[in-house]
């Protein structure tokens, strides 16, 4: 599955504009997103992407005073889920009562669900 990376630049760049942009891009085929300081990146299957539909969605964007520029390029062909599994993630502590961590973490407490019982 080949993905395209669509880099969006929003002017003025507000939280509301970003949220609405992500919703709009999702409606035209993007299925995942990453946000960086000055841009929002959307990822879309190459077989699903229709640039004309994207252009129409941008021209009809719900916030009339927002300008949206975009650039389309091939996304790196990589199994991102596999990369995430290799790297793991930093443990998350909630109210000092609950720890969410990778199975690779050594921790004396574990919540285990028996799904076969």
pLDDT (tens digit per residue) in 17-35: 999 999 999 999 999 999 9
Chain segment 57-113, per-residue pLDDT in tens = 999 999 999 999 999 999 988 776 777 677 767 777 888 877 777 777 675 566 666
Torsion of CA 95, 99, 100, 106, to 10 degrees: 160
Q: Phi/psi zone of residue 95: left (φ > 0), alpha (ψ -120 to 50 degrees), beta?
A: left
CA–CA separation, 94 vs 99, rounded Å?
A: 6
Question: What pLDDT was estimated at residue 107?
Answer: 59
Q: Does the structure show a pLDDT above 90 at 1?
A: no
Q: Give residue 42's pLDDT.
A: 96
Q: Kindly list the domain boundaries of the chain, sorted by start residue.
A: 3-74
Best CA proximity match to 54, nearest among 10, 2, 16, 6: 6
pLDDT level of residue 117 (50, 70, 90 thresholds): low
Question: How far is the C-alpha of 71 from the C-alpha of 41, rounded, in Å?
Answer: 10
Mean predicted lDDT score pLDDT of the chain: 87
Fold of 3-74: Alpha-Beta Plaits (3.30.70)
Both structure tokens of 76 = 């790196």
Strand partners, 100: 92
């Amino acid at each position: 599955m080949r993905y395209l990376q669509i880099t969006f630049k929003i002017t003025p760049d507000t939280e509301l504009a970003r949220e609405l942009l992500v919703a709009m891009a999702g409606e035209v085929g993007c299925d995942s997103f990453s946000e960086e300081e000055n841009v929002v990146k959307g990822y879309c299957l190459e077989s699903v992407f229709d640039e004309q539909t994207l252009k129409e969605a941008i021209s009809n964007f719900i916030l009339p005073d927002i300008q949206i520029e975009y650039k389309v390029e091939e996304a790196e062909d990589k199994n991102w889920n596999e990369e995430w599994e290799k790297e793991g993630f930093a443990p998350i502590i909630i109210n000092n009562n609950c720890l969410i961590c990778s199975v690779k973490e050594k921790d004396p407490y574990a919540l285990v669900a028996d799904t076969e019982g």
